[in-house]
Structure 1
Amino acid sequence: MPRSSCASHRELPHRRSSCMLPRFATLLAGLGIAGLAQGAPTAYPLTIDNCGKPQVFTQAPQRVVTIGQAGTEMLYALGLGAQLAGSSLWFNDVLPDYQAQDAKVPRLADNEPSFEAVVGKRPQLVTAQFEWMVGDQGAVGTREQFDELGIATYVLPSDCEGKDNLVGADGTRLQAFQVESIYKSVSELASVFDVQARGAALNDELKGRLANAQAQLAGVDLSNTSALFWFSSADLATDPYVAGRQGVADFMLRTLGVRNVVSSTEEWPTVSWETLAKANPTWLIIARMDRRRFPADDYQKKLDFLRNDPVTQHMDAVKHGRIIVLDAEAMQAGIRLFRGLQTLAAAFSTGVAAP
């Protein structure tokens, strides 16, 4: 669902003449944002059970530090950029929609920030995209460390529900990822900041994008179509990090009726190219990143490797140009996932990868 030209993520004015309400409600429904009329105000203190850790909010946080692009852009989509005191852990440049908000927010680190850098911003809330950043073995800090300083923490439920983050480099899914966990994040964050109407509107938009992606494939036979997600590699000469079963990327394929050739339930396991070439997926989906932690973060280097490696150059997807370049953040549990679904659906429906 395209974003409306009106500010669909702003709160409605509180005063409107009664004669205008029916026409206004009709307009909202026509724009697909009827959710703006929903949501009761937050009653503080608000307690949210987040990944088994109850968090209490006595008021809407005024200073927030985000660790992870998914949470950052989620807050921007809710119109809360003014509350951000710092951001970190970015895979891609911010979406154009949110450049104005992002320009006013200090970036603490392109990857994970230090604990000192985060608490130095005196946040009332720290959001984390991944539990391994803020969790029992937090790369930035544990939830207990933040709690001792009176700082609330919120880990996106998509990375802790039905998942064991102590098994595997990026955790192992015990249950298949559920897209409802993203809608839950939006709704819970909207409640924390008392902007429920914006949360309802955003969830309506995301659900509309998912439905649009599925509609693009109506009548398309994908029963024999398979795919592989290549996120990155510690070194181009080593086994790549690819999407396992039950994770976010696998959900994207299942939603569109395409089979993942990787069977591991780790989030991003390493698998040899010999094994992947034998599986011979119909499509290769490679991550485009603006960060540079590994050489393979550069998607052009991925493409060069695929076309010149003696093993990968013989894969059908490489020989026939069935390679989709997708923003890395679109492979994560955030609002970009839904745009990613639309990109994949367009390619699967036409047989042509987007440039």
Structure 2
Amino acid sequence: MLPRFAPLLAGLGLTGLAQAAATHYPLTVDNCGKPQTFTQAPQRTVTIGQAGTEMLYALGLGDKLAATSLWFNNVLPEYQMQNAKVPRLADNEPSFEAVVGKRPQLVTVQFEWMVGAQGVVGTREQFDELGIPTYLLPSDCEGKDNLVGADGTRLQAFQVDTIYKSVSQLAAIFDVQDRGTALNTELRSRLDSARAQLADKYLAATSALFWFSSADLHTDPYVAGRQGVADFMLRTLGVRNVVESSEEWPTVGWETLAKANPTWLIIARMDRRRYPADDYEKKLAFLRSDPVTRNMDAVKHDRIIILDADAMQAGIRLFSGLQTLAAAFASGKAAQ
């Protein structure tokens, strides 16, 4: 099921929601321990990360985007027309020069490894020197050390409230608080709906493994670690993650994973092609042919769920991803 947030915001008319107070500028937002001040609603925004891009689209702010970058999946269908009007700087990470060349009044960032102390695009200080505020999605900094592990290490379990916080803060920055309230209401409703699908199911003995990608199909895969975003999805639905590492996406050998023998395999579908294993059909072929993986119960019984890669990230797609997983766990049938 795909979220239909734009029609929601248009059709709701915000009926039944309290009228949010207008933003009073200058507005200072504490973002990942670094205050960012806005003297007005940004008119030109560059996004580095699909989660932030689609969050802004869902808030009805597509006309404020000067450029986007870092995509895992194609844009959601309801945003295709808007997205077609926005230049894409890069499918993966853009250069610092390309970003500042768009003269943004805000840069929103999904991952700290893109813009941070060791950012491949640049540091927040570099943008500060040019007077460009940066907004890092709190989900990637709160309770997390991004200097340990390839994709960072969780110091505490991911909290879904960080997504709601992003929505509320971005809505305040752009002075569209009513839209933020409506969007968060819809996201919470989707989470409740996913849980409700499993209300009468006993899943204490059910386990799962998220396989995001692999640098090479015959090397150790990148899988979801304990306490991260994907692990939150399993915990929310009462299912155990067989991976114990606190890294966000550690590499673990197939022999170890096969020994853990998860009930379900959840593999990422993406349109990105950085690695061969980004192609989910190649993942499936590997699982069914490799002498180690083909004997896993989930493979033998076709308990393999295909899920958009961005539904495994801290953005609005996570909530439809939860509903997809809940439907599969409830029925015992794989979703693709």
Query: Which TM-score applies when normalising by structure 1?
Result: 0.92
* Distance in 1 of aligned mates of 2:2 and 2:108: 27
1:8 match: secondary structure: helix
Report what 2:147 is aligned to: 166
2:161 to 159, 165, 180: 180
Q: Do the aligned residues in 2 keep the contact of 1:3 with 1:205 (CA within 8 Å)?
A: no
Structure 2's unaligned 5+ residue stretches are: none
Q: What letter corresponds to residue 281 of structure 1 in structure 2?
A: P
Q: Is 1:189–2:170 an aligned residue pair? A: yes
Q: 2:105 aligns with which of 124, 132, 147?
A: 124
Count of aligned positions? 336
Counterpart-to-counterpart distance in 1, 2:257 and 2:156: 24
Is the contact between residue 50 and residue 155 of structure 1 (CA under 8 Å) also seen in structure 2? yes
Alignment of 1:240 with 2:221, yes or no, is yes
1:4 CA displacement? 7.0
User: Where do 1:79-90 residues align within 5 Å?
Assistant: 79-90=60-71
Q: Secondary structure at the match of 1:197?
A: helix
- Aligned partners of 1:5 and 1:242: how far apart in 2? 29
Equivalent AA in structure 1 for residue 183 of structure 2: L
Q: Percent identity?
A: 79
Judge conservation of contact 1:11–1:195 (CA < 8 Å) in 2. Answer: no
Give the Cα–Cα distance (whole angstroms) in 1 for the partners of residues 102 and 93 of structure 2.
Answer: 15
2:39 to 54, 58, 73: 58
2:120 alignment counterpart: 139
Amino acid at match of 2:124: R
DSSP-derived class of the 2:217 partner: coil
Larger Rg: 1
Aligned CA distance change for structure 1 residues 12 and 217 (closer, same or farther; 3 Å): closer
Structure 2 counterpart SS, 1:340: helix
- Name the CA shift for 1:351/1:63 in 2 (closer, same or farther; >3 Å): same
Taking only aligned residues, the RMSD between alpha carbons, in angstroms, comes to: 1.6
The Cα shift of 1:2 comes to 8.4
Q: Distance in 1 between matches of 2:138 and 2:130?
A: 23
Aligned residue for 1:219?
Answer: 200
* Distance of aligned partners of 1:340 and 1:11 in 2 relative to their CA distance in 1, 3 Å threshold: closer
SS at match of 1:333: coil
Q: Deviations over 1:93-142 (max 9, x none)?
A: 00011112101100000000000100000000000000110111111010
CA contact (8 A) 1:11 1:198 kept: no
State the SS of the aligned residue for 1:9. helix
Q: 1:101 aligns with which of 78, 82, 97?
A: 82
**Aligned: 1:281 with 2:266:** no
SS at match of 2:307: strand
How far did residue 354 of structure 1 move?
1.5
Residue 152 (structure 1) aligned to one of 133, 153, 157: 133
1:8 aligned to 2:15? no
In the alignment, the residues of structure 1 paired with residue 176 and residue 64 of structure 2 have an alpha-carbon distance, to the nearest angstrom, of 13
Give me the TM-score of the superposition, normalised by structure 2. 0.97
1:261 aligns with 2:242: yes
Shift of the 4–227 alpha-carbon distance from structure 1 to 2, 3 Å rule, reads: closer
